[in-house]
Amino acid sequence: MMLETVAKETVVLQEAQRLQELLRGVAKSPTQRWTLGDCMAIAPYTLAINRFKKEQNAVILAHSYTTPDLVYGVADYRGDSYELALRARDSSADTIIFAGVWFMAQTAKIINPAKQVLIPAGKAGCTLADALTADQVRALREKHPGVPALCYINSSAEVKAVCDVCVTSGNVFDIAQKMPGNELIFVPDLLMAENIAAELKRRGTPKKIISDGSSCCVHDRYRPTHVETLRRDYPGVRVLAHPECSPEVCERCDYVGSTKGMMDYVASSADKTFGLLTEVGLVNRLEAEHPDKQFVGPAGVCGNMKKNTLMNTLGTLIDPRPEQIVTVDKTVAAQARKTIEAMFEWTTK
């Protein structure tokens, strides 16, 4: 009995050491880093999740905005919306656990319908995806007949079903530029719509962008003063923003791009200090993967992404609650699939 206890404790300690190695540079709170003690507390969960995952031939996809214990402790793949949509499409696992928000898990189910798709956070919303109905898009399309309609991936399955091409922050500018004609409908991010118009003008291929919807509650809070303060406090800082920020913010930054775009920018830059106008999960990923660099700035928190925890991920694997099981109406899914598949095609055109 005594030996068994010692063996179990050794396994937990080894797991905690593995986790601490991965999380060493990551802030757990504004004043604390992940300690071995913190990792000891979560090790029983990561051990159990990784065991159940194998037994059930499940794969865990985690968006970079979820917490670092999920991202580095149990996720098989971590990334932005586009990378995870590709992983979901190509997955041969029986079950896909999507640690993200509802529209992301719904997208996974739409493009790989034979799989069971589960989301630990249940119906975790997004201020963009929740902002617009399919009827609003239909009304817009009736008012502007013949104009191609792009929807941001942060939209419901019903909205995707009535658009032509889905886009993500990583491919939106290129796809918008490639679309025929000089007018475009883009929903549901009003700020990204303005950024598309500005970027296409910069590229010498201006288009009129017609939009409806709202904004991201995390990225819409940034103002030009945030950029100016970063430049004042950290001379030489590179300021990076997500295209969900306002054009007034974006035009003052050194780089504007998707979650993956920002990671690639940091990885290939010789600079040492980066100001990030985006969600704290991305800052945590950069801290984990670039311990030699400094990340500053007023990172935001997406409360919906943070609803995914180790505890509810384990619960999802053992006995998912109805709201954690992703289902999409078949007719809606068939139409939405065409829109998402069109994105994969236009991305490589």
Q: Which residues bind ligand SF4 (CB under 6 A)?
A: 101, 126-128, 154, 216-218, 244, 279, 302, 304-305
**What kind and span of H or E run contains 126?**
none
Q: Which is nearer to ligand 13P, 66 or 258 (CB)?
A: 258
Least distance (Å) from ligand 13P to the CB of residue 194? Answer: 16
- With binding defined as CB under 6 A, does residue 80 bind ligand 13P? yes
**Which span sits near ligand 13P by CB under 6 A: 22-30, 78-86, 187-195, 286-294?**
78-86
Q: Which is nearer to ligand 13P, 15 or 244 (CB)?
A: 244
Binding mask 130-159 for ligand 13P (x = CB under 6 A): ------------------------x-----
In terms of Cβ atoms closer than 10 Å to its own Cβ (0-12, 13-18, 19+), residue 330 is exposed
Q: Which of 15, 194, 220, 244 binds ligand 13P (CB under 6 A)?
A: 244
Least distance (Å) from ligand 13P to the CB of residue 85? Answer: 9
Beta strand extents in 140-192 (DSSP E only): 149-152, 165-167, 183-187
Q: Which of 20, 67, 106, 168 binds ligand 13P (CB under 6 A)?
A: 168
Least distance (Å) from ligand SF4 to the CB of residue 240? Answer: 15
- Please give the structure tokens belonging to residue 294: 């400094």
Contact between residue 293 and residue 265 where contact means Cβ atoms under 8 Å apart: no
Least distance (Å) from ligand SF4 to the CB of residue 258? Answer: 11
Q: Which of 67, 258, 304, 309 binds ligand 13P (CB under 6 A)?
A: 258
- Helix axes 81-90 and 102-111, enclosed angle (nearest 10): 30
With a CB cutoff of 8 Å and minimum separation 6, the contacts of 342 are 164, 165, 166
What part of residues 209-238 is at the interface with ligand 13P (CB under 6 A)? 216
- With binding defined as CB under 6 A, does residue 169 bind ligand 13P? yes
Cis link prior to 247 (omega < 30° from 0)? no
- Please give the structure tokens belonging to residue 165: 């091409």
Contact between residue 71 and residue 64 where contact means Cβ atoms under 8 Å apart: yes
In terms of Cβ atoms closer than 10 Å to its own Cβ (0-12, 13-18, 19+), residue 136 is middle
Q: State the residues that interact with ligand 13P by CB under 6 A.
A: 80-82, 154, 168-169, 216, 242, 244, 258-259
